[in-house]
Chain A
Amino acid sequence: MIKHNTVILDPDKCKGCITCMKRCPTEAIRVRNGKASVMYERCIGCGECVRLCPHQAKLPSYDPFDIIKDYKYKIALPAPSLYGQFENLTNVDYVLNGLLEIGFDDVYEVGRGANLCSELTKILFDRESFKKPVISTACPAILDLILVRFHELKPHLLELLAPVDIAAKLAIKRALDRGIPREDIGVFFISPCPAKVFALKQGIGVDKPYVNGVLSASEVYMQLLPVMKTVQLKPLTKLSVQGISWASSGGEAANCSREKYLAADGIENVIKVLNALEDGQLRNIEFIELNACVGGCVGGVMNVENPFVAKARIRELRRKLPLRFNELADEGQSLDFYKWERVPELKDVYALSTDRVTAMKKMMEIEKIFKNLPHRDCGMCGAPSCRAFAEDLVNGVIPSDSKCMYKDYDE
């Protein structure tokens, strides 16, 4: 079985440069024995290290395309961002029919799930007494960031399934209605990012995963390109402007029915917004959309195209689409069908100990070591900062005789 971590290292390509380690937003990377190594319990799957590695040594983890052959009835769930990858695409049906051509038996657009999410958000805003501002939970890297680092903000989370889970549930239902046996159905998301791969394989907010495999947008793109030119166009799409807009930053927020919203993208910007919210600075905002990738999901590291080009293409495609669909009425499901089945748990990765007195002792030890380090944050010791080095020493994750090359911290 493939172990699904978010990112994997190609040790032959890794030069042990400290680029990824210095920029990891959760300080999850160390350089050990000249190679980058990920502390997976801290990794949120944002893909920054994949994006930044100058040697292409960091690879996103995803399923090989052939995994679809394990199932008799294969359903593709294309992300809205996929449509932005193709030059001169005039009609999304080329993509959908192309997916049928390369081996899928059915296609259910995640954009439809997104359209439903927008409809649901509007209804829930009117019905429920949300803790404002409500924070979108569609980007799993951000959801994970909040669960590991911004525990105080958990009550703000929008407790809705992500568009892809909604699409998966409805696609499975449609297949069952067509008389396909449950065990024959395989559901595959075509993903822009490793965060979605990890989240969907684990099942976040759901009792158990609905998706059987997560494919990379670039790999599927390579399969689609040759068939799309000649494919027979059957009308399949049920995409709306509201649904496809989720491909780029601001698209979800613009459709949440509230005027006072904020949309931030890029993991560093997102962290600033979350800190500001925690400090009580965002008192008038009602809805916050956050995307780990610059530009939103079009910026995902498993895409082909530059995020800004993809965004421009999607804007062009939008002009031909209906504004929105009222699919809630058509689907006839109760609101609970779309809500979290299980509330994800907070992760205690930063506490030095569950016992406060022990944690205090460790912290004082860290402060003592840190005070005597040169504060250059040079990364030569294999930790992203002098403070992280002191923490690693006290946590015992590095040998107690590890040295700072500038200074002997043992007085």
Chain B
Amino acid sequence: MSDVIHLEFDVAGNNFVSAGTATNQVKDTLRNLGIPNQDVRRIAIAMYEAEINMVIHACGGKATADIYADKIEVVLEDHGKGIENIELAMQPGWSTASEDIRGLGFGAGMGLPNIKKYTDEFKIESEVGKGTKVYLRVNFS
């Protein structure tokens, strides 16, 4: 019923240089809409973590953002290796990132906990061998 702005992005796997592009475009759109700073910051942090997870742990995927007058919903879906134990993955500091990835400054194991912390709603579904789907929502103040 209400108006919605729908954005779609392809996120390339293993491309660290372009990682964050989708997040940046969402930020630009929110700026155009005059969304309060603190909300832009929350979605920036959460969406970036989910986006970089698709780059590092899956082989890229798709992201969509639906912006309403009072909230933003972001869905990030990949067909990567999936997560074996989501409860474990949610633990602060837990990471399966390789030494190489850690050398690049990623893999501190704080991504999923941060997504939870900065969003109003966070859902994650995953199936080993099939892929992962992350949903996040931030309400505008």
Contacts and interface: CB of A to CB of B under 8 A. Distances in A.
A35 B114 CA distance: 48
Contacts of B29: 363
Interface string A262-277: 0000000000000110
Contact of A278 (B27, B33, B34): B27
Nearest to A391: B32
Interface size class, chain A: 20 to 34
B100 interface: no
Contacts of B37: 151-152, 154
B89 interface: no
Contact of A275 (B24, B31, B35): B24
A222 to B, nearest CB: 43
A323 B48 CA distance: 42
Contact of A352 (B33, B38, B41): B33
B69 A278 contact: no
A123 interface: no
Contacts of B114: 280
A177 to B, nearest CB: 44
- Chain B binding surface, main DSSP class: helix
Contacts of B20: 275-276, 279
Contacts of A353: 34
Contact of A363 (B32, B48, B140): B32
Nearest to B27: A278
Contact of B34 (A152, A281, A351): A351
Given A357-B69, A360-B5, A279 B33 contact: no
A364 B3 contact: yes
Contacts of A279: 20, 23, 44-45, 48
A91 to B, nearest CB: 44
Given A279-B23, A363-B5, A356 B44 contact: no
A352 B7 CA distance: 17
A182 interface: no
A67 interface: no
B45 A361 contact: no
B37 to A, nearest CB: 4
Given A152-B41, A280-B44, A361 B34 contact: no
Contact of B69 (A151, A348, A360): A360
Interface of A: 149, 151-152, 154, 275-276, 278-281, 348, 350-354, 356-357, 359-361, 363-364, 367, 391
12 contacts: A151-B37, A152-B40, A152-B41, A276-B20, A278-B44, A281-B48, A353-B34, A354-B34, A356-B34, A363-B33, A367-B5, A391-B32
